[in-house]
Structures are given as structure tokens and as C-alpha cells.
Amino acid sequence: MEFINKEYTLRNNPKPEDITRVREIVTSTGFFRDDEIEIAVELIEERIKLGEASGYEFLFVDHNGEAIAYSCFGLIPCSLISYDLYWIVTHNEFRNKGIGKELMKATEQAIREIGGRTIVVETSSKVQYIPTQKFYEKTDYQLKARFEDFYDYGDDKLVYIKTV
């Protein structure tokens, strides 16, 4: 499937080599702690091992045959129409090229196609996450909740929601 231009393609079939690429993509941002990076890797490992039964869906943006961005999402347990967007990350070398915005559109479309109506995303209130907060706001997500001192003292959890 063509994506942005002939240089970037979109796919939804995770491959074993994506395990290494997810680690590299998430690490390249400089945003995430080691334990958070391990969680990102665990989700792709689980998807590779269990397939759709894992409950995790992935979209990848490839450049020259290698993943440079991805999203991970899944149906929220006990909901029939609401999805968590667990991760949407672009490798640092490819940021600010519109890839994240296009990946978000593709992720929203994929969720819509499988019957999803609401997308929930969470992020930190730390200063380093201001670009992330602005990204969600620019893609029409609305801040619906703030949980003070959630991740750490002075690090609130922000919950954004969008109806698709």
C-alpha cells in the first residue's frame, strides 16, 4: 500500500525483525525509560508469538524495506468500540516529515474499519512531552482527564480521546 510517497510504505503484518526495529525506534526518541522500552518490545514479541489473539494490532511505516515508525493499538477490555493507542512512534531520524501524522490517520482508519469508535491515548505531562501533547491536539484529540502525580511526583497522566 502506498503511503505518503513511493519512498514510504505502510503495512500491518508484523515480522520477527520488527522486534529489533521497535526497540531501535523507541530508543532513538530519547523519551522513554528502559522499562518503557521493554514494554514496547514485549508487545511486538507477544504479537509475533500469538498473532491476532494477542489483542495487539500494529501498523508499520517502512523506508527502503525497514520499519521507521509504528503504531500499536488494541480493543480496550470489556469495550466493544473503544481502542487504546498504546504506541505511535517515529524514529528520530525521520521526525518532522509528516510521517507521524499520516500514520495516525492510517491508524484511525484501521480502527474505524474494525468497528472502533473511540480512541484513547495517554501521555505524560512532563515538559519533554509537550511536542507529544501538541501532536495529539493537532490531530484533533481532546484532553479529557488529568491524573496528578500518576507516573511520578510532578508527572501527571494526560488522557486524550478522539471519536472516529
| Per-residue pLDDT reduced to its tens digit, 108-130 | 999 999 999 999 999 999 999 99
| DSSP symbol at 16 | T
Q: How far apart are the first and last CA of the chain?
A: 22
- Is pLDDT of 3 > 80? no
Q: Thinking of the domain 2-163, which architecture would CATH place it in?
A: 3-Layer(aba) Sandwich (3.40)
pTM of the model: 0.93
What's the mean per-residue pLDDT of the chain? 95
**Cα(125)–Cα(142) distance, integer angstroms:** 14
Alpha helical stretches, state H, 16-152: 18-28, 34-50, 99-113, 130-138
Calpha distance 51→32 (Å, rounded):
26
**pLDDT tens column, 26-49:** 999 999 999 999 999 999 999 999
CA pseudo-torsion sign 149, 32, 50, 112 = positive
Mean pLDDT throughout 73-95? 97
d(CA 78, CA 44): 22
The dihedrals phi and psi of 14, each to the nearest 5 degrees, come to: -60, 145
List CB contacts of 79: < 8 A, sequence separation 6 or more.
none
pLDDT tier, 7 (very low <50, low <70, confident <90, very high otherwise)? confident
No. of helices (H) and no. of strands (E), the chain: 4, 8
Residue 5 has pLDDT above 70, yes or no: no
